[in-house]
Amino acid sequence: MSEFPAIGDLVVRKSYDADVIFKVVSLYGSIALLKGVYSRVIADAPLDDLVKVDFNCNEIRREGLGFGILRKMIS
Protein backbone atom coordinates (compact mmCIF):
# COMPACT_ATOMS: atom_id res chain seq x y z
CA MET A 1 0.00 0.00 0.00
CA SER A 2 1.50 3.30 -0.99
CA GLU A 3 -0.31 5.42 1.59
CA PHE A 4 -1.19 4.53 5.17
CA PRO A 5 -4.87 4.99 5.94
CA ALA A 6 -5.90 7.84 8.20
CA ILE A 7 -8.82 7.98 10.61
CA GLY A 8 -11.99 8.42 8.56
CA ASP A 9 -10.66 6.73 5.41
CA LEU A 10 -12.67 3.99 3.71
CA VAL A 11 -10.76 0.71 3.36
CA VAL A 12 -11.17 -2.98 2.55
CA ARG A 13 -9.12 -5.95 3.78
CA LYS A 14 -7.04 -7.85 1.20
CA SER A 15 -7.04 -11.01 3.34
CA TYR A 16 -10.86 -11.20 3.20
CA ASP A 17 -11.06 -10.49 -0.54
CA ALA A 18 -12.56 -7.01 0.02
CA ASP A 19 -15.77 -8.46 1.43
CA VAL A 20 -16.73 -5.48 3.65
CA ILE A 21 -16.16 -1.75 3.31
CA PHE A 22 -14.87 -0.25 6.56
CA LYS A 23 -14.19 3.18 7.95
CA VAL A 24 -10.97 3.55 9.99
CA VAL A 25 -12.01 4.72 13.47
CA SER A 26 -8.66 4.60 15.27
CA LEU A 27 -5.04 3.59 14.83
CA TYR A 28 -2.84 1.77 17.36
CA GLY A 29 0.70 1.46 16.04
CA SER A 30 0.45 -0.83 13.02
CA ILE A 31 -3.15 -1.92 13.75
CA ALA A 32 -6.32 -0.15 12.61
CA LEU A 33 -9.69 -0.41 14.34
CA LEU A 34 -12.41 -0.62 11.70
CA LYS A 35 -16.17 -0.08 11.65
CA GLY A 36 -18.33 -1.52 8.87
CA VAL A 37 -19.96 1.06 6.61
CA TYR A 38 -22.87 -1.09 5.40
CA SER A 39 -22.46 -4.00 7.81
CA ARG A 40 -22.85 -3.88 11.56
CA VAL A 41 -19.35 -5.11 12.38
CA ILE A 42 -16.21 -3.96 14.18
CA ALA A 43 -12.82 -5.43 13.27
CA ASP A 44 -9.12 -4.78 13.55
CA ALA A 45 -6.50 -5.34 10.90
CA PRO A 46 -2.82 -4.71 10.30
CA LEU A 47 -2.20 -1.65 8.15
CA ASP A 48 -0.48 -3.71 5.47
CA ASP A 49 -3.70 -5.72 4.98
CA LEU A 50 -5.75 -2.63 4.15
CA VAL A 51 -6.45 -1.06 0.78
CA LYS A 52 -7.80 2.47 0.76
CA VAL A 53 -10.81 2.87 -1.52
CA ASP A 54 -11.09 6.12 -3.44
CA PHE A 55 -14.63 6.12 -4.71
CA ASN A 56 -18.10 7.05 -3.56
CA CYS A 57 -19.59 3.97 -1.88
CA ASN A 58 -23.09 5.43 -2.07
CA GLU A 59 -22.79 5.69 -5.84
CA ILE A 60 -21.75 2.05 -6.15
CA ARG A 61 -24.62 0.95 -3.91
CA ARG A 62 -27.13 3.13 -5.77
CA GLU A 63 -26.03 1.76 -9.14
CA GLY A 64 -26.47 -1.78 -7.85
CA LEU A 65 -22.90 -2.80 -8.53
CA GLY A 66 -22.02 -5.86 -6.49
CA PHE A 67 -18.93 -6.40 -4.40
CA GLY A 68 -17.54 -8.56 -7.22
CA ILE A 69 -17.15 -5.35 -9.22
CA LEU A 70 -15.59 -3.69 -6.16
CA ARG A 71 -13.02 -6.47 -5.87
CA LYS A 72 -12.06 -6.00 -9.52
CA MET A 73 -11.75 -2.24 -9.03
CA ILE A 74 -9.21 -2.54 -6.21
CA SER A 75 -7.11 -5.41 -7.60
pLDDT at 1: 40
- Domain interval for residue 39: 10-74
Statement: the pTM of the whole predicted model exceeds 0.75:
no
> How far lies 38's CA from each of 2, 23, 57, 61, in Å?
26, 10, 9, 10
Is the dihedral angle over the CA atoms 23, 27, 29, 31 positive or is it negative? negative
In a domain, 64, yes or no: yes
At residue 8's C-alpha, the angle toward residues 44 and 70, to 5°, is 75
In a domain, 4, yes or no: no
pLDDT at 65: 47
Domain count along the chain: 1
pLDDT at 63: 52
Give dist(CA 65, CA 75) in Å, integer: 16
Residue numbers in the chain where pLDDT is lower than 50: 1-2, 65
Give dist(CA 73, CA 46) in Å, integer: 21
